[in-house]
Structure 1
Amino acid sequence: MSTAPAERALRILHVEDSELDHQLILAELRRAQIRPEVLRVDTLAGVQQALLEEWDAVISDYNLPGFSGMVVLDLVKARQQPVPFILVSGEIGEDTAVAAMRTGASDYLLKNNLARLAPALIHAIEAHESERARLDANRELIKSKQQLHELAGHLQTSIEMERAAIAREIHDDVGGTLTALKFDLAWIARHALDEGVKQRTAAALETVSSAIEASQRIMHNLRPAILEQGLVAAVQWMAARFEKRTGIVTTVRTSHEQMNLPPAVPLVAYRTAQEALTNVSKHASATRVDIELSIDSGVLTLELSDNGQGIAPGALAKARSFGIRGLHERAATVGGWVDLSSSSKGVSLILSVPLEAKGEEDLGLEGLFTAMHDPSMWTE
């Protein structure tokens, strides 16, 4: 709620060479029940020195000895925290007044019409305070968004670390145990004399082989070592496995067989395609998926489209549609963005990432992925 004029004590810098005009303005402000604390200066050096202090507003004449009110306006605008500026003059043309307003003056008045001074001053100060509050809110919003992106990046990194740790345990513990069990069962099958034992051993071998395949599939999903062969090879491998598992025809087209990408980008693109294919298999009722990888004008584009039933209207705006939000946040960790469109003919998802070179201090998820890799630990 704005403060009533009668309750305001304002610090005002008055740039004026006439003491009489200065007193007239003081009288007009007091008549409007404003308690002004006013400093009058009439030299350019005095203006520059006074602007080092804090003021609620600046009132300036236009014609001054050796300089003009427009010069004062430029000095006010150059401050780190600009303040409302009102131009008051005995003679000012319309063109000059319009130019002052366009340059940044809050208002202008003629000295023979000072009755409007107090309302104009209060309005200018309140408008300035509202604008400053809006700018502060925008800065806080930008800061919050940046913190959110940093948090999303940290969470993605933590998730990849946890996935790598789980995959390593599956490979070392579960995979090793299953392999040893398979050897033991094979030995039993070779040495068993009873036909029933041989049959049960063969069945157990099939079960263990299936468990080994499942552990390898889970391990690859948790930590895609195939990315070491490049993004194109990784997406082609994922598409082939997806088609084999779901029966959905999946094609991959690419503009480059090998793509030299900054750290973090391949893993983000891979996870985006993985999430999109998962959604297709769960919700799309599609019979075909087309994936296209391309680099054009320094931007990596991954487009995945299906011929399914599309996304229901309003589904993207659901409060708990975290999958879509996760795609956006994941893309933002490498400076990219996701566009999603849906129609009765299917869904199209496009990931775009500008390929800007990044320093060693910003390795991101892919840097983590590479740093945690030990080829001797992942031999199948």
Structure 2
Amino acid sequence: MFQNVSNDSVLGYAQFLEQTLKILHIEDSAADQALARLSLQRGRLQCELTVVDTLQGVTDALGSQKFDLILADYHLPGFTALDAWELVHALPEHPPFVLLSGAIGESAAVDVMRVGISDYLLKDQITSLPHVVTRALEVWEAKRARRRAVQELEASEKRLAELTEHLQTSIEQERAGISREIHDDIGGSLTSVKFDLAWIQRNAPEGPLRSHAASALEMLEHALGASQRIMHNLRPPVLDQGLVAAVQWLARNFEQRTGVATTVRTSRESMDLPAALQVVAYRTAQEALTNVSKYAQASRVDIDLSDQEGFLTLEVTDNGVGLAEGARDKAQSFGLRGLSERARTVQGWLDVSSQPGRGTSIIVSIPLAGTRP
């Protein structure tokens, strides 16, 4: 809504007194041109006015130089200010546009407000022109600063997403490398030691030596089991058999370890998916089951895996105590945030639905368009 401006209604007026403003004045009356110039001078605004009175003149002026503000009469020979506004509005970053006109009628005033012209001042109130100009400039500067801040935020979010994707990829590669080293080096060495200890146990006479060998073998079996668990957590070899097999293995292992009944339902027996998508879905299921074992106090978990309707969808639902209000936003709560960021690396998203006492459902959805291997 446009309002006439009183002398005390403009904030930041002084900031425009020390700069020369370039104004395109669209006006066919020499007298009104002079009055506008005089009013701006009396308001102590230093202005460089370029005066045009044709639509072609507007086009030429806009094409040859940049202006801080457009000041226009409404009715001009052969066109109106709305025609000039269309030219100005088409500029990549157009300056504020102020109408300085006689009465233009209610319909025209509505059109002016609808299209987004900055302000409207009647010519018989021209003494307020300096304040209208400075207010329009101030609002425009604020909008430009906001646009710039939004652009910078979007650029920052894009860089953060790229960094997250890089980190997730690096982490998975590092996990796979460590898993291979454990399997090839530590696992191989432990297996060799196991054979040697077994030989000692078989061939040692009854007594302390055989007893110590048996104890060492028992500890070695524990170490081998631990190394296997670590390898599976780092990068389960079962992923090489596909996502369906990996999720089924994860569910069986979880059920055996916790005693919580776990059911897996899939849309098909195998899914031909890119490795990155499989890892995201698998890690989501892994983290969700970890949360169930730690916090949910559940007696049942259902896992649904589907690649229908153009999306890979994994849903893990439990019948536990649910998430407490605000649990997802508390400090140092990075599990679900990490899953959400991981999903974003493959253009997916994470949804969490939970009510106290009624369980929790974690769903990751990933578009499949253009991602088939």
Q: Same fold (TM over 0.5)?
A: yes
Does structure 1 retain, via aligned residues, the 8 Å contact 2:247–2:282? yes
What residue in structure 2 maps to residue 18 of structure 1?
29
Match of 1:368 in 2: none
**TM-superposition CA deviations, 1:14-54 (whole Å, max 9, x none):** 11222221111112222323222111112333322321322
Which of 12, 23, 34 is the equivalent residue of 1:2?
A: 12
Contact 1:262 1:357 in 2 (8 A): no
Work out whether 1:323 is the aligned partner of 2:339: no
Q: Which residue of 2 aligns with 1:364?
A: none
1:262–1:356 CA contact under 8 A, matched in 2: no
Where does residue 6 of structure 2 map in the other structure?
none
| Stretch moving more, 134-143 or 280-289 | 280-289
What amino acid is aligned across from residue 58 of structure 2 in structure 1? Answer: V
Gaps of 5+ in 2: 1-10
| CA-CA distance at 1:92 after TM superposition | 2.1
* Contact 1:242–1:248 under 8 Å retained in 2: yes
Contact 1:152 1:329 in 2 (8 A): yes
> Aligned to 1:310, what secondary structure does the other structure show?
coil
SS at structure 1 position matched to 2:163: helix
1:81 aligned counterpart, secondary structure? coil
State the alpha-carbon separation in 1 of the partners of residues 79 and 13 from structure 2.
Answer: 35
Matched pairs, number: 360
Q: 1:57 to 1:151 in 2, by over 3 A?
A: same
Measure, in 1, the Cα distance between the counterparts of 2:270 and 2:126: 74
Q: CA deviation at 1:263?
A: 4.3
Report the CA distance between 1:355 and its aligned residue: 1.6
Q: 2:46 is matched with which residue?
A: 35
- Separation of aligned partners in 1, 2:221 and 2:333: 38
Task: Tell me which residue corresponds to 2:216.
Answer: 204
Partner of 2:140: 128
- Aligned mates of 2:339, 2:76 — CA distance in 1: 61
2:129 alignment partner in structure 1: 117
CA distance in 1 between counterparts of 2:102 and 2:303 reads 72
Q: Which residue of 2 aligns with 1:68?
A: 80
Cα RMSD (Å): 2.1
What percent of counterpart residues are identical? 55
SS at the partner of 1:264? helix
In structure 2, relative to structure 1, the CA distance for the partners of 1:319 and 1:154 (3 Å cut) is same
Distance apart, 1:359 and its partner CA: 9.4
5+ residue gaps, structure 1: 361-380
In 1, Cα distance between equivalents of 2:90 and 2:248:
57
Partner deviation per Cα, 1:202-259 (whole Å, 9 max, x = no partner): 4433332332222122111101221122211110100101111121211111222222
SS at match of 1:187: helix
- In the other structure, the counterpart of 1:45 is 56
Q: What is the Cα deviation at residue 6 of structure 1?
A: 4.5
Alignment of 1:291-306 (within 5 A): 291-306=303-318
Match of 1:179 in 2: 191
1:68-107 → structure 2 map (5 Å cutoff): 68-90=80-102, 92-107=104-119
Distance 1:359 1:110, change over 3 A: farther
C-alpha displacement of 1:195: 5.8
- The separation in 1 between residues aligned to 2:106 and 2:146, in whole angstroms, is 31
CA distance in 2 between counterparts of 1:359 and 1:82 reads 44
